[in-house]
Amino acid sequence: MYCKMNLETKKGKLVIFSAPSGSGKTTLVHYIMSQLKNVEFSVSATSRPPRGKEVNGVDYFFMSVDDFKRKIENHEFIEWEEVYPGQLYGTLRSEVEKLRNDGKTVIFDVDVLGGLNIKKLYSSEALAVFVRPPSIAVLEERLRNRSTESEESIQKRLDRASYELSFEDRFDVVVINGDLEKSKNDSLQYVTDFIEH
């Protein structure tokens, strides 16, 4: 009588891209996803309203502050943070585990403290990449060129960026995003090496 082997799918790894807002992490995440198969984006949840053409379940899971807080109480997030007063962001445990159980590498585009929390939770199963702007002046220029935010919002983001830059040495690798092509190539190399080993 033959024994049927139970071939379990190997659990997927996690790749975390964190950076001050406007550093270009989203561009790098999209590039990596376009280059590698079996990499799935982790859609974050937020209590802020959609911007522009953002779609629920694609860009973010949009929810009310009350719903968000209920999920916090139920321990449904692997990380969450109140980035600005009344603006909560987080990563749903159920979404991450579903992808990992399918053998997918889960890629994150999260704020700095959220990235560190995920790294702490998953340790060697996660690669934490810090994307750094060449300078605060360049970051300010990028935020202004977006034309999506008020002056007050830009100032808030710049103040927060100075704080977030102090955490870069707690990440596995740092990508200085000055030359976009070099940043894309460096990021892809780091991620490929991590997934394959």
pLDDT digits (tens), the chain, 197 positions: 444 444 456 899 999 999 988 888 999 999 999 999 999 999 989 999 998 999 999 889 999 999 999 999 999 999 998 877 889 999 999 999 999 999 999 999 888 988 999 999 999 999 999 999 888 888 888 888 877 778 888 888 898 888 999 999 999 999 999 899 999 999 999 999 999 98
Q: Report domain extents, the chain.
A: 14-196
Q: What is the DSSP letter of 53?
A: T
Show the CA angle centred on residue 153, arms to residues 92 and 146, nearest 5°: 85
Phi, psi torsion values for 46, nearest 5 degrees? -150, 155
Q: Which CATH class is domain 14-196?
A: alpha beta
CA 45 to chain centre: 11
